[in-house]
Amino acid sequence: MTTAKQWVLASRPDGPPTVENFRFEEVELPELSDGQILVENTFASVDPYMRGRMNNVKSYIEPFQIDEPLTGTAVGVVAESRSNKFKVGDTVRHFAGWRTHAVLNEDQAEQIDTNLAPAEAYLGILGQTGLTAYVGLTAVGEMREGDVVFISGAAGAVGSAAGQIAKHLGAAKVIGSAGSPEKVDYLTEIGFDEAFNYKDGDVNGQLAKAAPDGVDVYFDNVGGDHLEAAIQNANTFGRIAMCGAISQYNDTEPAPGPRNLGLSIGKCLTLRGFVVGQYTHLAKEFQEKIAPLVVDGSIKYESTVREGIDNMPAAFLELFEGGNTGKMIVKF
């Protein structure tokens, strides 16, 4: 193998990104050095956080660079190896997605066991997705047995995992919001106690109806009107784990803060933002407590799969239109 195909950032978007912000290239691969492997990618992840990396701003992760290949989590098979750690045929997970092949140092990849779960599961529920859900509920949201938990973006990869994990951790009630009747049905099928379609309007009213006794923990993937509704319906000493704000990622002007933020004072609320990279010390705990529930089917997961590396940008853009249930994955 001497060449690979890859996507690079062609330009930075102003507002919602388009396919014109990406460029498809074929590049020469370098020869392997000692300690390196060549991975042929089979699945790659696209995620909402990548939108922020398209902007040239300082954040918790480096922005994508113009004319440079995009990165993200992928799984693949070792095609060539000059490493004592990996052999040809091993399946590995790494961060050099958005390309057909990647030359990696052996410390840039980790082996995964596809006998336990399909390879794509390691991009979602058995990867950063599942860990994000667990961390947000436990370390950030400080969820306790008997809590009422509300999750926005609940049919997405993190949201659907968080809802099921909350039930296994002893939540008295788990409520989810999603953007279609089909997604609402999906949430109740996987164990949410109640779910509503936010496109029906009045998020605050729908949440109040679903949680007449109030909300103890809110797992925020959306921001905006969902965050306001959570503050309005929060119980005293409620906790809000701020994981994402996808409703605002394509805004060209700064979004106003919640109009009812002042309620947080009298209610003694805790609003805490987090990124999973600050909680990697909990990965072992997650694997011990939650991964077995995934393997035995107690916690279910869904993947929305798009075919072909040609469709990477289109799959990414679908995230902002609600085109996915569960994890959005591209199969090469």
pLDDT tens sequence across 249-299: 898 888 888 999 999 999 999 999 999 999 999 999 999 999 999 999 999
Express each pLDDT in 89-99 by its tens digit. Answer: 999 999 999 99
Average pLDDT, the chain: 96
Measured in degrees and rounded to the nearest 5, phi and psi for residue 106 equal -60, -25
Helices (H) and strands (E) in the chain, counts: 10, 15
Cα angle value 20/16/134 (rounded, 5°): 115
CA atoms within 13 A on the CB side of 36: 10
CA dihedral 242, 120, 321, 244 (to 10 degrees): 10
CA dihedral for 104, 109, 114, 118, sign (positive or negative): negative
Express each pLDDT in 33-62 by its tens digit. Answer: 999 999 999 999 999 999 999 999 998 899
Distances (CA, A) of 53 to 63, 294, 301: 4, 30, 26
User: Of 57-61, 156-160, 183-187, 208-212, which range is least confident?
Assistant: 57-61
pLDDT at residue 318 is higher than 80: yes
Express each pLDDT in 129-149 by its tens digit. Answer: 999 999 999 999 999 999 999
pLDDT at 256: 82
Q: Note the pTM of the prediction, 2 decimals.
A: 0.92
Classify residue 330 as left (phi > 0), alpha (psi -120 to 50) or beta.
beta
pLDDT band at 184 (very low <50, low <70, confident <90, very high): very high
d(CA 171, CA 161): 14
Instruction: Identify the helix (H) or strand (E) that includes residue 28.
Output: strand 22-28
Tell me how far the alpha carbon of residue 75 is from its chain's centroid: 16
pLDDT at 24: 98
Determine contact, residues 36/88, Cβ cutoff 8 Å: no
pLDDT at residue 161 is higher than 90: yes
pLDDT at 69: 97
Strand partners, 151: 176, 219
Tell me how far the alpha carbon of residue 61 is from its chain's centroid: 15
Burial classification of residue 138, based on how many CB atoms lie within 10 Å of its CB (0-12 exposed, 13-18 middle, 19 or more buried): buried
- 74: its two tokens: 């992928």
CA dihedral 291, 177, 327, 307 (to 10 degrees): 150
Tokens 């000059």 correspond to what residue?
82
User: Of 159-173, 217-231, 251-265, which range is least confident?
Assistant: 251-265
pLDDT at 1: 62
